[in-house]
Amino acid sequence: MTAYHQPVLLDKAIEGLNIQASGTYVDATFGGGGHSREILGRLGQHGKLYAFDQDENAEAQVPDDKRIVFTRGNFRFLENYLRYYGVKRVDGILADLGVSSHHFDTPGRGFSYRFDSALDMRMNNRSALTAAKIIAEYPETELERILKTYGELHNSRKVSGSIAAARLSRKIETTGELVTVIQSCIPARQTNQYLSKVFQALRIEVNHEMESLTGLLRQCGSILRKGGRLAVISYHSLEDRLVKNYFRSGNVSGITEKDVFGNFSVPFRAVNRRPIVPLEKELENNIRARSAKLRVAEKN
């Protein structure tokens, strides 16, 4: 399991769910199953866990336990999947939004600039959209938008221009070719940090990550029972902002709405006032946890 993915903030995330032995829980991002195994360890014989992951390799990590039901699918369709299983309400939902170590460390997946491999970056290999397709077909203005919005690059126009100019004469199909094309755009002594932002932006677009997170959050209010917990681990400011807004107001815009009587309607109560971050000891064992932030909220 740890070879596939080392779970981040494991103890704090499980503690935040306040697991009841006979409860029903959701692990929206199964990955290597680290969080799911810990949830199962706290459930009794009548407890139930519904786990989801869109990567076909994740299914091989599912433990042989009748209390867990695994579905290969995107968590943006969570409510539909649960309805299929006859589940209307759950006691807790966990979502770890990070990319698994398996994805980063498998060269053929194209998630990392450390390997020269195909520009893929799909979490669901049944999807038609790849990073190579984005690089080849997106208009220059769209490339700039993606790099600026999802990568928060200060020189996104220069990068998109370099890509647009290079693809006129040759195909850009591998991670190495992309790095070569944008080499002149990388600030001195910032290669790793900068390339991480570029690859993050492309990965978010390939997998529609922001749309999926928004879709998940919008369903949680109706899926969770009163007193149920929602725990979300995010890894960059775009994700964390959506989660923070949702916990504060019940919607991703962060604007608190009023009910029919003119009273402010706040469907959640934040369990932790500030996001929980990994301690130094965890970072020593898993440097990829360095940007993780855990927020937990309870349904009013």
250: CATH? 3.40.50.150
CATH of the domain at 152: 1.10.150.170
Q: Which residues, in sequence order, are CB contacts of 171 under 8 Å at separation 6+?
A: 136, 177
Structural domain includes residue 52: yes
pLDDT tens track for 237-249: 999 999 999 999 8
Q: At what angle do helices 140-150 and 191-206 cross, to 10 degrees?
A: 110
Q: Does residue 1 have a pLDDT over 80?
A: no
Structural domain includes residue 237: yes
Same domain, 218 and 95: yes
Tokens encoding 254: 């962060």
Residue 9 neighbours by CB distance under 10 Å: 23
Same domain, 89 and 27: yes
Q: Domain tally for the chain?
A: 2
Same domain, 87 and 220: yes
CB-based contact 102:158 (threshold 8 Å): no
Same domain, 137 and 264: no
pLDDT tens track for 93-145: 999 998 877 778 788 888 999 999 999 999 998 999 999 999 999 999 999 99
pTM here is: 0.92
Helical H runs in the chain? 10-17, 34-42, 78-84, 101-105, 131-137, 140-150, 156-166, 175-181, 191-206, 209-223, 237-249, 280-285
Q: What range does the domain containing 80 cover?
A: 10-101+209-299
Percent of the chain with pLDDT over 90: 78
Q: Does residue 3 have a pLDDT over 80?
A: no
Q: Identify the weakest region by mean pLDDT among 263-272, 274-283, 291-300.
A: 263-272
Structural domain includes residue 121: no
Q: Does residue 25 have a pLDDT over 50?
A: yes
Q: What is the mean pLDDT of residues 79-88?
A: 97
Tokens 């979300």: give the residue. 232
Of 1, 28, 10, nearest to 220 (Cα)?
A: 28
Tokens 């706290």: give the residue. 42
Same domain, 182 and 244: no
